[in-house]
Structure 1
């Protein structure tokens, strides 16, 4: 009898999990998984033509940056402005590559020193850079996601 009572107590103490709903267990697992995801990083960077999907993440990033800088330089090639005094400044351009792979200028940093010398600088840079190509979007857990990035434009008249 004592043995049966011990088995009954053991069975009741281990079966408490039977009273927890499957939905609650699933919800707890999903919440734990969401907490472990680094939302500030992607699993795969946007891919330009010529960048291989099966490269490791560091090589993908390097290929992405090189291709982006190439398109960036090509788009701004031939752009020239007349200035009255020497300039040595850096302007940052913020981009968004959306989940469909479209590249758009989000913001061109406004610096008074630059705008005083080149009034239409931000407008002209935005116009030229919004015509960049489309890419395969960044991926997070196999799902296309948007990604933001920033590139510098160095202005030097020397």
Structure 2
């Protein structure tokens, strides 16, 4: 038994070098991973239930934007904005989708918007743009994030 131990002991001592590997520093790994992430683009864009069946990222994005534009235009329809301000044919609406899937709508007016009441238009938009279908928020590395985008909303005056 002693002879076997004496033969195996040097092997164990020499083999320890194979187990003594340098483990990368945690902060070093974190910094490396943070450099790999593209911070200007999300992993997946917000999505509506009607766009969930699409797997291609760009097609899903297009579906979402066209569906959102359609929904906003339907909700505004031939509304007071188009009747009060017939010179306005399009409103830029900034849409914010929060990680908890809530929405916020803000109209973006041109610099020369003194000819109409922006507060009144803003209140009309907020009153009309409610009860949207459930929206899946954008994700970055699997974590829901806030996303913002601007939708051009065309205002139509209904024929009477």
TM-score by length of 1: 0.70
Residue number in structure 2 paired with 1:135: 135
Residue number in structure 2 paired with 1:47: 47
**Within 2, Cα distance between the matches of 1:53 and 1:42?**
19
RMSD: 2.9
Offset at residue 26 of structure 1 (A): 1.8
Residue number in structure 2 paired with 1:8: none
Aligned residue pairs: how many? 137
1:153 aligns with 2:136: no
Contact 1:103–1:134 under 8 Å retained in 2: no
TM-score by length of 2: 0.69
For residues 115 and 153 of structure 1, do their structure 2 counterparts lie closer, same or farther at Cα, with a shift above 3 Å needed? Answer: farther
**Within 1, Cα distance between the matches of 2:115 and 2:33?**
51
Residue number in structure 2 paired with 1:63: 63
**Within 2, Cα distance between the matches of 1:128 and 1:74?**
10
Residue number in structure 2 paired with 1:5: none
Offset at residue 147 of structure 1 (A): 0.7
Residue number in structure 2 paired with 1:109: 108
Listed as ranges, the gaps of 5+ residues in structure 2 are 1-16
Secondary structure at the counterpart of residue 50 of structure 1: helix
Residue number in structure 2 paired with 1:30: 30
Listed as ranges, the gaps of 5+ residues in structure 1 are 1-10
**Within 1, Cα distance between the matches of 2:111 and 2:27?**
52
Contact 1:87–1:155 under 8 Å retained in 2: no
Name which one, 1 or 2, has greater alpha-carbon Rg: 2
**Within 1, Cα distance between the matches of 2:156 and 2:133?**
27
Higher-strand-fraction structure: 1
